Amino acid sequence: MLWPLAGALIALSVLCAGLILLLGWHLFKLKRFLLWLDSPALPLPEERGLWGDIFYRLKNLLKSQPAAHQPHDISHEQIRLVAEHLPDGVVLIDAQQRIVWFNQAAETQLGLKGRSDIGQFISYIIRNATFNAWLTGAGEDRLTMPAPADSSRSLALRRVPMPGAQQMLFCHDITEQVRVDAMRRDFIANVSHELRTPITVIAGFLESFADMEEPDAQRFKDYLKLMREQSDRMRRLIDDLLTLARLEADTEVVIEPVDVAALARSLMQEAQSLSGGRHKVSLELDSDVRIAGNHKEIHSALSNLVSNAVRYTPSGGQITLRWRTNAAGGGEFSVTDTGEGIEPQHIPRLTERFYRVDRGRSRALGGTGLGLAIVKHVLQRHQAHLRIESTVGKGSTFTAVFPPERIIPAATETPQSPGQAAA
């Protein structure tokens, strides 16, 4: 319109100025939009026209995806779901000690039943005086007690005050921790006791020496012999403790092919020398397969079985060592004796540290009470296990059973080269 009236130059200048203004306006809106993107928590700018349309659609989009826009906000329902599936028990109780809510773990640990216990006084359901006194008292916020649902389990409870005089109870199952603590205490008590006995004996002899008015060569010699026996006993005990500690500390077994037949031959010689001719010792080799394992560890385990057979079999008895493959394709090394045998109730506990059927007899025979614990550990490290069969008055058979995966057939090359490690 301007062109014919004012000429081309003026018309084009006005058009350019208009376009520059329009561009400036859009750049201004764009800048506001970018500022909002930097802090999206602020409300969207109110606009009209094209920009108003863009902001309106963006608002609707944000409304439909609140979680994506606010990733750190979790809903009530989400919190409830998480608490529901916690491995620890959680119970919410009101100011009058009535149950408001509890999760699945609390059902198992505290014996709460489904939803029917909601609204009940907790003292009606958990009938434990210490627990109820603790819950209503103002003292400690923690308590350890047997699980109401299963008294063989132990629970550590913690109460946390909540708004409106409510309380949240948290229950953690500490059965395993209690068991390990008790085992550690027993072990320390046993070791101290085992070491104190020989030291007391040696100290007694030393006092006798000091009290001797005049030297008596024969008594002196006798005492020295007994002192030596006691120090040997301490050394054996410390050796066994170190072996067990090493087995527990090493997570990996160094694997090599172990020729069990050759090992059995040398164990037979060990048995003969330990027996000193008091027993008949024989060897039955029904297999020549080798096993993938650690020679030193397997030798130590099998030699414990042999030495037990010699020690617990009276003179004139028979001891048989045998190596064979079984029907499953595994290997079995057994030591059979015609000794005193073991009553069935003792058998499951024989591999516990310091467990002996007859403490006095074991000590008299130079036992440490750790031999079968070492055997069990070594076999476990080779995925093998110990089988014990015994008849009182007839004798016992202790068998180390190796799984087929550990067997190296006679004609085959070693599956794993020496020095290779396996868990």
By CB under 6 A, name the one of 51, 55, 131, 312 that touches ligand ADP. Answer: 312
Q: How far is the CB of 83 from ligand ADP (least distance, A)?
A: 48
Q: Are 332 and 380 in contact (CB under 8 A)?
A: no
The values of phi and psi at residue 364, to 5°, are -60, -30
Q: How far is the CB of 307 from ligand ADP (least distance, A)?
A: 8
Tell me, residue by residue from 379 to 418, as one string, x for binding to ligand ADP by CB under 6 A and - for no binding.
-----------------x----------------------
Q: Are 298 and 361 in contact (CB under 8 A)?
A: no
317 touches ligand ADP by CB under 6 A: no
223 touches ligand ADP by CB under 6 A: no
Q: Which is nearer to ligand ADP, 92 or 342 (CB)?
A: 342
Torsion angle, alpha carbons of 38, 40, 41, 45, to 10:
100
Spatial CA neighbour of 358 closest among 341, 376, 378? 341
Q: Which is nearer to ligand ADP, 330 or 371 (CB)?
A: 371
Sign of CA dihedral 105, 110, 113, 115: negative
Q: Are 383 and 298 in contact (CB under 8 A)?
A: no
SS3 assignment, position 358:
coil
Q: Are 331 and 325 in contact (CB under 8 A)?
A: yes
Q: How far is the CB of 205 from ligand ADP (least distance, A)?
A: 24
The window from 15-23, 175-183, 282-290, 369-377 that contacts ligand ADP (CB under 6 A) reads: 369-377
Distances (CA, A) of 258 to 247, 297, 305, 379: 18, 10, 18, 14
Q: How far is the CB of 306 from ligand ADP (least distance, A)?
A: 9
194 touches ligand ADP by CB under 6 A: no
Distance CA 46, CA 86 (A): 46
372 touches ligand ADP by CB under 6 A: yes
Tell me, residue by residue from 281 to 310, as one string, x for binding to ligand ADP by CB under 6 A and - for no binding.
-----------------------x---xx-
Distances (CA, A) of 283 to 261, 278, 323, 333: 10, 16, 8, 11
367 touches ligand ADP by CB under 6 A: yes
HEC assignment per residue over 130-187: HHHHHHHCCCCCEEEEEECCEEEEEEEEEEEEEHHHEEEEEEEECHHHHHHHHHHHHH
Distance CA 309, CA 283 (A): 14
Bridge partners of 318?
A: 280
Q: Which is nearer to ligand ADP, 155 or 267 (CB)?
A: 267
Q: How far is the CB of 380 from ligand ADP (least distance, A)?
A: 15
Q: Which is nearer to ligand ADP, 302 or 407 (CB)?
A: 302
* Separation of CA 173 from chain center: 15
Tell me, residue by residue from 321 to 360, as one string, x for binding to ligand ADP by CB under 6 A and - for no binding.
----------------x-xx-x-------x-----xxx--
Q: How far is the CB of 300 from ligand ADP (least distance, A)?
A: 12
103 touches ligand ADP by CB under 6 A: no
Number of chain positions touching ligand ADP (CB under 6 A): 21
Where along the sequence are the contacts to ligand ADP (CB under 6 A)?
304, 308-309, 312, 337, 339-340, 342, 350, 356-358, 362, 367-373, 396
